[in-house]
Amino acid sequence: MKVKGKFVRPERLRVNFFFRDRQTSGAQYSRGLSQGEPRGSVMARRWMTLQRYVSPALMGSRDLSSSAAPPTLITVPDRTQYTKGSLNLDQLDPSDPIKTFTQWFDYARTSGLVSSPEAVTLSTAHLPSGRVSSRTVLMKKVDSRGFVIYSNFQTSKKSRDLATNPRAALNFWWEHLERQVRVEGTTERLTVEESQEYASVRPRDSQLGAWASPQSSVINDREELDELVRAVHEKFSQTTNIPVPPFWGGLRIVPDSIEFWQG
């Protein structure tokens, strides 16, 4: 069914600016620490989200109510022909596509041409609005049931989407191999025990970061962020085995469709 409608120009447009502080090591989400590499001090490099609203009057020629073709801002010409490699059915295992993915992933990891083959775009959609959102995450495991990532399930945008719609999609893009893999399926949370098993082998600062990071929340200033980190360090200063937060854990995408693309 196709429904035609008119795009209503908003009274204001929200723009999120993301800033990364590179003074120290670490990894981060939009507020607090994330599931990344170890860092050497409480002060960490982090994502900070500041929301600013732009009046449509400042958008210049962006007349969204006009039916005329908008002015071109960026033109990207064809730069290459994607002729590296080929794809034949005898290279795939239709009876076990996860086995085929494992072979492709291992090749991407050992080829020396892909710096982070585990980086993948995760897309979710909120219902009933149908709004789709995407973000790059790191796949941490593939098992016989599907693809596993870890995330905050209390404040993140993906968690709000999944609460209304359990379906998700993944897209792996390995540019220098001219390969991509598309995955569509349903999602399921890992058990607390499974999440704890993974969390326990992470660097201590990454474990603390899971507690300190209300992911996707808006931060007022740097001081608020630093205070969150200090409070978590103090809370667990005498704790050897840090428990996994109840709002954090693994998410498995159980595929019902996997596509392999070459070129």
Structure tokens at 156: 């993140």
Question: What pLDDT is attached to residue 22?
Answer: 36
pLDDT class of 37 with cuts at 50, 70, 90: very low
Higher-confidence position of 58 and 99:
99
Q: What are phi and psi of 143, to 5 degrees?
A: -125, -170
Closest CA to 178 of 116, 109, 113: 113
Question: Tens of pLDDT along 183-238?
Answer: 999 999 998 888 888 777 777 777 777 666 655 566 677 777 777 778 877 777 77
Question: Tens of pLDDT along 141-178?
Answer: 999 999 999 888 887 889 899 999 999 999 999 999 99
Question: What pLDDT is attached to residue 58?
Answer: 55
Average pLDDT of the chain is 75
CA gap 56, 17 in Å, rounded:
18
pTM score, whole prediction:
0.68
**30: Cα separation from own chain's centroid:** 12
pLDDT class of 35 with cuts at 50, 70, 90: very low
Question: What pLDDT is attached to residue 65?
Answer: 67
Residue 38 exposed, middle or buried by CB count within 10 Å (0-12, 13-18, 19+): middle
- CA angle 93–95–96, rounded 5-degree value: 70
For the chain, domain boundaries: 81-200+241-262
3-state secondary structure of 136: strand
Q: Where are the beta strands (DSSP E) in 103-178?
A: 119-125, 132-138, 141-142, 147-152, 167-174
Own/partner pairs for 87-95, CB < 8 Å, 24+ apart?
A: 87/260, 87/261, 87/262, 87/263, 92/260
Question: Tens of pLDDT along 42-94?
Answer: 333 334 444 455 555 555 555 666 678 888 899 888 877 777 877 888 788 88
Mean pLDDT within 107-132: 97
Which CATH superfamily is 81-200+241-262 part of? Electron Transport, Fmn-binding Protein; Chain A (2.30.110.10)
pLDDT over threshold 90, residue 126: yes
CB 263 within 8 A of CB 84: yes
CA gap 158, 262 in Å, rounded:
29
